[in-house]
Amino acid sequence: MTDLTPPFRADHVGSLLRPKAIQAARKKHFEEGSLSADELKAVEDAEIPALIKMQEDVGLKAVTDGEARRSFWHYDFMGMLTGLDLDERDEGVQFAGVKLRPIFPTITQKLDFPDDHPMLDHFKFVAANTKVVPKISIPGPSCCHFRTAPEDIHPEEYKDPEVLMADIAATYKKAVTKFYEAGCRYLQMDDIFFAYLCDPKHRAEKQANGQDPDWLIQKYSWMMREAIKDRPADMTIGMHMCRGNFRSTHAAEGAYDLAAEAIFDTGVDIFFMEYDTDRAGGLEPLGLLPRGKQRILPGFVTTKTPELEEMDWLKSKFDEASKYVDIDQLGIAPQCGFASTEEGNAVTEGDQRRKLELIVRCAEEIWGGV
């Protein structure tokens, strides 16, 4: 009997290139106003099962909705929280040679995870349309703090960062509970800002705002730990880290060394760690993973470019990684999603499928199965 309990040897981060029908429907709804919300949902409901089937067909045991109902990997979820609004302004966050659309989170009142958060239903739809394990990926707790400028935090009590972070952790703790009640047994949180805080540029920006980046790393680890510590024993938590992924560009660089201990102290079960370029540094930090059941899925396969990685090269990377961590505590996933925003990376649907097939094939050749 096939084991359908994560962690798996082959996995992916979550987002997929948006089907053309969904792209067209979103334009009609959000830009032209010629399509209602219900009509948009009908298009999404019609298209997402094919995304799920593609993941099943390539051999993955965990599948997502490709984040096809979202514009961003993070802001959609955040904007659906009680107490957090999204403002549109003049200029967006700078990536390498391109700027993100100018959306900015603003905390207006006490934070909470609402009982009717729409992504609970997003998850249930995946669960109802797959024979394998349904997974949902959401932004991690650190995102609510890192991406909200101090001047955009309005409640007086949240001027104390300890109070704000405690409420973010409590909000996510409730989210974990509500997703479990919705049937979710595999929840992934994208907590990419551990990696950002290893970048000298981002560290300097935080220091200029009066924030100690090393203190932030420890507090972000604490927030994740608090959010998941009471999860049921049959719920698996994954955490993804990268250095930005917008239209195949990046926003940060720097090795994991400064944050590795805090990362592995979060208590999550699976670590999706970007490793597709030298911007991620060496593999030495993997040696800080405690021996046990936790697993690292190094992202040697990139979603940013169409070129397919060579199997022999991938095997050599795992030979190198196994010098620092037992091969039994490793698996493989791409470094990030294929479309962290609805614009997607500079790859085709064919490229995307071939990359996922390679992930599965690599797991089969190294570990004998997915």
The structural domains of the chain, with segments of one domain joined by +, span 23-367
Per-residue model confidence as pLDDT tens digits over 144-180: 998 898 999 999 999 999 999 999 999 999 999 999 9
What value does the mean pLDDT take over residues 355-369? Answer: 98
pLDDT at position 177 is 98
Q: How far apart are CA 178 and CA 115, in angstroms?
A: 7
What value does the mean pLDDT take over residues 329-350? Answer: 93
pLDDT band at 100 (very low <50, low <70, confident <90, very high): low
Q: What is the mean pLDDT of the chain?
A: 93
| CA angle centred on 351, ends 338 and 24, rounded to 5° | 60
* Cβ contact 318:366 at 8 Å: yes
221 versus 196: the higher-pLDDT residue is 221
Q: State the CB neighbour count (10 A cutoff) for residue 266.
A: 26
pLDDT at position 280 is 76
Q: How far is CA 328 from CA 8, 291, 293, 332, 360, in A?
A: 11, 10, 9, 12, 16
pLDDT at position 340 is 87
pLDDT at position 189 is 97
What value does the mean pLDDT take over residues 242-252? Answer: 67
Is 101 a residue whose pLDDT tops 90? no
What value does the mean pLDDT take over residues 239-254? Answer: 74
Is 361 a residue whose pLDDT tops 90? yes
pLDDT at position 103 is 85
pLDDT at position 13 is 96
Is 124 a residue whose pLDDT tops 70? yes
Tell which residue, 70, 76, 102, has the closest CA to residue 342.
70
* Cβ contact 95:363 at 8 Å: no
pLDDT band at 21 (very low <50, low <70, confident <90, very high): very high
DSSP character at residue 148: S
Is 295 a residue whose pLDDT tops 90? yes
Pick 23-367's CATH classification: 3.30.200.20, 3.20.20.210, 3.20.20.70, 3.90.660.10: 3.20.20.210
pLDDT at position 98 is 54
What value does the mean pLDDT take over residues 22-47? Answer: 96
Is 191 a residue whose pLDDT tops 70? yes
* Cβ contact 288:294 at 8 Å: no
Q: How far is CA 268 from the centre of its chain?
A: 13
pLDDT band at 343 (very low <50, low <70, confident <90, very high): confident
pLDDT at position 66 is 97
Q: What percent of the chain has pLDDT over 70?
A: 94
pLDDT at position 1 is 44
